[in-house]
């Protein structure tokens, strides 16, 4: 799972590069579903793909680092917290009636 993000980011980077080169040469090929695609549209879509690629790569490295840290540090067993022990209340001495 962790390396999947990094691998996918490399695949998306290759796709982005091919998309940009082909789109700059012949914009109708990558944007075949539009009536009039332009090079400007290619130039606007490419940075978005680059941002997605960089985000995937960074997240993949972060998760890889977290997984490595989890393997290196074993779980520590915490001693149970002491529970309060109930003690009987001291008997109160009878008080004298109040003076009038």
Domain that holds residue 66: 2-71
Q: How many domains does the chain have?
A: 1
- Whether 6 maps to a domain, the answer reads yes
- pLDDT of 70 strictly over 90: no
- Whether 28 maps to a domain, the answer reads yes
- Structure confidence at residue 91 (pLDDT): 78
- Structure confidence at residue 94 (pLDDT): 67
pLDDT (tens digit per residue) in 11-66: 999 999 999 999 999 999 999 999 999 999 999 999 999 999 999 999 999 999 98
- Whether 60 maps to a domain, the answer reads yes
Buried b (16+ CB within 10 A) or exposed e, 9-47: beebbeebeebbeebeeebeebbeeeeebeeeebeebbe
- Structure confidence at residue 1 (pLDDT): 59
- Whether 22 maps to a domain, the answer reads yes
What is the residue-wise DSSP string for 40-61? Answer: HHHHHHHHHHHHHHHHHHHHHH
């Amino acid at each position: 799972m962790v390396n999947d993000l990094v691998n996918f980011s490399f695949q998306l980077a290759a796709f982005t590069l091919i998309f940009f080169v082909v789109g700059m040469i012949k914009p109708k090929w990558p944007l075949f579903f539009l009536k009039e695609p332009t090079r400007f549209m290619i130039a606007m879509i490419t940075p978005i793909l680059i941002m997605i690629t960089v985000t995937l790569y960074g997240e993949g490295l972060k998760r890889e680092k977290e997984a490595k840290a989890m393997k290196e540090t074993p779980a520590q067993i915490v001693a149970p917290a002491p529970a309060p022990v109930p003690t009987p209340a001291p008997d109160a001495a009878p008080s004298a009636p109040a003076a009038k």
